[in-house]
Amino acid sequence: MAIKVELEAALAGNAENTKENRKQPMSLPERLAMLEMILDKLPFEIWYKNTAGEYLYVNKSFADNIGKKPSDCIGKKDIDVFDEIEATQYRQGDWEFLFGGDPHAQQYKTSDGRMSMEFKAAVSDESGKYDGIVGCDIESKLDEIQALIMADAKSAFRTVFEGAPFGMAIYVNENPVPNDVNAKFCELLGISKYSALNTDWRFLTHPDDIEMNEKLLEKFKAGEIDSFELEKRFLRANGTPVPAKIRVHRLFSDANSPTMNLCIIEELK
């Protein structure tokens, strides 16, 4: 009995200490360690390059995909970690992103046949001077993303899905009404999540753009293509058109499980 009382007292003391510690802001090293831990848990490749094209940071997923440790990539350029063809297209993509190319996502085909879709953002220093590029490759891990969706609603994918800076919707089988949407999807279309989850995609699309969307969707459903993209106009609840680029990918297809499709929406400004 005495041991039990002492143990309960110790646990209570630890709980109080934890509450007290939470009141104290984390130091910079602690915040950085926490951030790195989170980034290493994500199923996406994440990287950061400086102006010379040298990697200053890569997460575990990035390193695992090329069979290296994260520390092996730091200070290296694309030509040091990829074959010449991939390295050239990645470096060219960076320049296009920064100097007049596609300001949104960029898609590549890797040497082993995988498709790579990268979302990039320019990084600036305190004076506003360009300092590098941070990127996220979402498409390289679609199989793992699917597994996480099916396995755990509180997965790392769920965290990224909910906080993504672009609209995302998941459709099951051939249902034209989404099974799930993220906050950005609702923001872009000016509707509530309840409305989004009860509305056919056609009612959210400009009438003049429905036909071209349906033609690609029919090929997609027939298995002629595994993904497609197009630029079209959505309609907000107030009737305002929203020019956007959409990318639709088949996440999962199995005889014993429902087919799940991911739609990524980027507003074109």
What three-state secondary structure class fits 86? helix
Architecture of domain 164-267: 2-Layer Sandwich (3.30)
Condensed to tens digits (0 to 9), the pLDDT of residues 95-154 reads 887 776 555 567 666 666 666 667 788 887 777 777 788 888 866 555 555 555 555 555
pLDDT at 262: 86
Condensed to tens digits (0 to 9), the pLDDT of residues 27-77 reads 777 777 777 888 887 778 889 998 889 999 999 989 988 899 999 999 999
Q: Where are the domains of the chain?
A: 28-140, 164-267
pLDDT at 5: 46
Phi, psi at 30, each rounded to 5°: -65, -40
Strands, DSSP E only, in the chain? 45-50, 55-58, 105-109, 115-124, 130-137, 167-172, 180-181, 227-235, 241-254, 257-267
| CATH 3.30.450.20 matches 28-140 | yes
**pLDDT at residue 225 greater than cutoff 70:** yes
**pLDDT at residue 260 greater than cutoff 90:** no
Lowest mean pLDDT, pick from 66-75, 155-164, 198-207: 155-164
164-267 and 28-140 share a CATH fold: yes
Is residue 210 within 8 Å of 202, Cβ to Cβ?
Answer: yes
What is the token pair recorded at 214? 């349906």
The average confidence (pLDDT) of the chain is 79
